[in-house]
Structure 1
């Protein structure tokens, strides 16, 4: 069974994802986590502390993803695009919850979200040797993620294995040709 702290963060994520930032009051989070308000305040004395906790969670999930990306035998570009489908994973949930806060202008959430996006881009650039190629790959993956995360259930179809294989062929082409173009400069 998850600790009270983890249940509270899970509930905060759930409310942000399903109902948005305005609905994520301290009272609503406590009720959803099945803890008293005092129990919530023991772990998170303010909503800012909840945001900090969510930021730490997102940072931890992202660090693990960066490790997996660096170690992937198919390479970081293929990994990034291949894993850019919303799967409702802990990383996906933390990303969407933090994005909800960032969209509402929450400065800490925007900074956290921006920092993680830069880390992914930098990791791709380190492996691919070109910021432009890394950015092209990241935008392909981000587009897939956006499509899956925000349009699922409204007519958007999940990528088939054949479509993903074809897209990964395009990724290979971008990496190969982009690398050649960068070397010509």
Structure 2
């Protein structure tokens, strides 16, 4: 696997700070220190905190697109993949999840954050609608996944429901 670029290392540091300490802890100096680059090195890739946010939102979009594309051909099928990736602890280390979590920490600070999160959610809703004939059932599955994701991000227990996905899908007629 190729070594991440300096730009990606800086973005990883920004994501880590947002997740671990929140947006109030983000300074260019803190990001440079976490990334183990000089402030000049950081500024070469991201000239401001605004540019860091733009880089993060671009990452969220790219990784979400890739995750939806993977879901289309996932061995367990797109619906099961969507629901299981919304609840499992394994998703907590996925780059797409970490980028989304970092972006969610920025909700309220910039309208573009909500716009990108909504657009990514729409990707998933569109995928579900492609694979679930009934529009209301597709919307319910999407809402279930959103709720499970929210619970998982807050550290709440989701293993019980995750262990019963077969029954959940049966009750939804899927």
TM-score w.r.t. the length of structure 1 is 0.83
**1:61 alignment counterpart:** 63
Map 1:73-112 → 2, pairs under 5 A: 73-85=75-87, 86-102=91-107, 104-112=108-116
State whether residues 16 and 97 of structure 1, in contact with CA within 8 Å, keep that contact through their aligned partners in structure 2.
Answer: yes
1:22-65 C-alpha deviation (Å, 9 max, x unpaired): 11111111111111111111101111211111112111211111
**SS at 1:101's partner residue?**
coil
Aligned in 2, Cα 1:139/1:168: closer, same or farther, shift over 3 Å?
Answer: farther
Structure 1 segments unaligned to the other structure (5+ residues): 177-185
Map 1:98-177 → 2, pairs under 5 A: 98-102=103-107, 104-150=108-154, 152=155, 156-157=156-157, 159=159, 163-176=161-174
Number of aligned pairs? 169
Q: 2:33 aligns with which of 31, 37, 49?
A: 31
* Cα RMSD for the two superposed structures: 1.8
Structure ID, larger Rg: 1
Alpha-carbon distance between aligned partners in 2 of 1:21 and 1:52, rounded to the nearest angstrom: 14
1:131 shift after superposition: 3.1
**1:14 alignment counterpart:** 16
Runs of 4+ in 1 over 6 A off after TM superposition: none
1:92 shift after superposition: 1.1
1:137 shift after superposition: 0.7
Aligned in 2, Cα 1:69/1:175: closer, same or farther, shift over 3 Å?
Answer: farther
TM-score w.r.t. the length of structure 2 is 0.88
Structure 2 segments unaligned to the other structure (5+ residues): none
State whether residues 121 and 134 of structure 1, in contact with CA within 8 Å, keep that contact through their aligned partners in structure 2.
Answer: yes
